[in-house]
Structures are given as C-alpha cells and as structure tokens.
Amino acid sequence: SQTIHQWPATLVQPVGSPLSLECTVEGTSNPNLYWYRQAAGRGLQLLFYSVGIGQISSEVPQNLSASRPQDRQFILSSKKLLLSDSGFYLCAWREDSYNEQFFGPGTRLTVL
C-alpha cells in the first residue's frame, strides 16, 4: 500500500533563515505531488504541484520554491523566511489526474 511521509512534524525558525521541508511517497511510481499551506486554520492554499520529475507548477508568487529531485520526493524551500510564511504545510499525492488524492501528516512551521 502507499504511504506518504513529511518531516519535520514541527519547526520553529527565525525570520531570514532558510527552509527545507521534505515529502516522500512510498508504494507508487510517477505520482502527482502537491504542496499546500493552511495559514488561517481553515482554507487550503495550493502552492506548487508536479506531474513528473523536474516539472513544477507554481500557483502563488512568493518567496518559496519547490523541487522534485526524485520520482517520489517533493521538497519545499525558502532562502529567507518571512513571518507570513508561518503555517501548516501539507504535502499530497495521487496516481494521476482525476484520481483520489491523499495527504501527508503535515509540518507546522512557526517563523519568529
């Protein structure tokens, strides 16, 4: 069966520091991968998605970037964190468009 992992689970970082969040999926190949942020405790904002290695689509202009160095690995990065980057970051996967999507456990990021 498929499993999705995210780490770290929680992170406290100072303003201006770099960021790297990692997401990996097991038990499938060539999944569609997604990064979301939940800032207000309710809505989910899609940040990036990838339908294959090296293919990244950005939904919202910001100081974050995403990369997919391996088939089942999706990384969210920042060179310099802002206070507004605080939030709950969720990675998700699915086998293909129109299929059921599944979420990882999330990373709670606090920028101080």
Partner 1 sequence: GIQVEQSPPDLILQEGANSTLRCNFSDSVNNLQWFHQNPWGQLINLFYIPSGTKQNGRLSATTVATERYSLLYISSSQTTDSGVYFCAVEGQGAQKLVFGQGTRLTINP
**Residue type for position 39:** A
Instruction: Pick the binder of partner 1 from 17, 20, 99, 110 (CB under 8 A).
Output: 99
Tell me the sheet residues that pair with 5.
Answer: 24
Does residue 51 bind partner 1 (CB under 8 A)?
yes
93 is an interface residue for partner 1 by CB under 8 A: no
Pick the binder of partner 1 from 11, 44, 53, 56 (CB under 8 A). 44
How far apart are the C-alpha atoms of 84 and 55, rounded to whole Å? 26
Handedness of CA 100, 45, 81, 69 (dihedral sign): positive
The residue ranges of DSSP E strands in 2-101, in sequence order, are 3-7, 10-13, 19-26, 32-38, 45-52, 55-58, 64-70, 73-78, 87-94
Which of 43, 54, 61, 69 is the binder for partner 1 (CB under 8 A)?
43
Residue 78 or 107: which CB sits closer to partner 1? 107
- Around 11, how many Cα atoms within 13 Å sit in the side-chain half-sphere? 24
Q: Contacting partner 1 (CB under 8 A), which of 1, 14, 61, 100?
A: 100
Q: For residue 102, state whether it binds partner 1 (rule: CB under 8 A).
A: yes
Q: Which residues bind partner 1 (CB under 8 A)?
A: 32, 34, 38, 42-44, 46, 49, 51, 57, 59, 88, 90, 97-103, 105-106, 108
